[in-house]
Amino acid sequence: MSGSLNKVQLIGRLGADPEIKQMVNGKNVARLSIATSQSWKDKSTGERKEKTEWHRVVIFNEGLVNIVQQYLKKGANVYLEGQLSTRKWRDEKLGQDKYSTEVVLQGYNSSLTMLGGNNQSMKSSENNQDKSSLPNDQISQENSDLDDEIPF
């Protein structure tokens, strides 16, 4: 079908540690459970309300699976882009067809970005390094001398 688009963008938190499994072909796959929330103030009561949606995310991209395995834990805040995919499977106990809809990150049209400041261990190891050995040290010093005033 021409002119169609299957793209999902989510910002949310991991509800559990990522699950990494090995497929039959020997490659790893990561499964995540991502929570997104919206909140509002109830007009009639003035009470604060919140609704959380849970999203199943499956990552086949090997590079992203390695990042997930090394750095992501329950509670991590992430931004991801992928595609919706619905799988049909058979529940043999009930003898019924079942369906699962997931966000799939696969190939070049997917991305994963870690958000938030939960990388304390990474920051502390950077602080212990000799500042002169950091490649961006000179650049950051030059940028700190810029005037912060905006002309408009």
Kindly tell me if the per-residue pLDDT of 144 is higher than 70.
Answer: no
The predicted pLDDT at position 1 comes to 62
At residue 46, does pLDDT exceed 50? yes
pLDDT of the residue at 135: 37
b/e string for 104-140 if b means 16 or more Cβ within 10 A?
bbeeeebebeeeeeeeeeeeeeeeeeeeeeeeeeeee
Give dist(CA 70, CA 30) in Å, integer. Answer: 12
Confidence label for 3 from pLDDT (cuts 50, 70 and 90):
confident
Q: What's at 113, amino acid-wise?
A: T
Q: Quick one: which of 17, 2, 11 has its CA closest to 35?
A: 11
pTM for this predicted structure: 0.69
Residue that wins the pLDDT comparison between 67 and 121? 67
- The mean pLDDT of 76-89, rounded to a whole number, is 94
Mean pLDDT value across residues 37-57: 94
All structural domains of the chain, each given as residue ranges with its CATH number in brackets, are: 8-132 (2.40.50.140)
Supply the pLDDT for residue 89: 86
**What does the pLDDT read at residue 97?**
93
pLDDT in tens, 112-133: 999 986 443 333 223 333 333 3
User: Contact at 8 Å (CB) between 83 and 104?
Assistant: yes
Instruction: Give me the mean pLDDT over the 75-95 stretch.
Output: 93
Which residue is it, tokens 């509002």?
Answer: 40
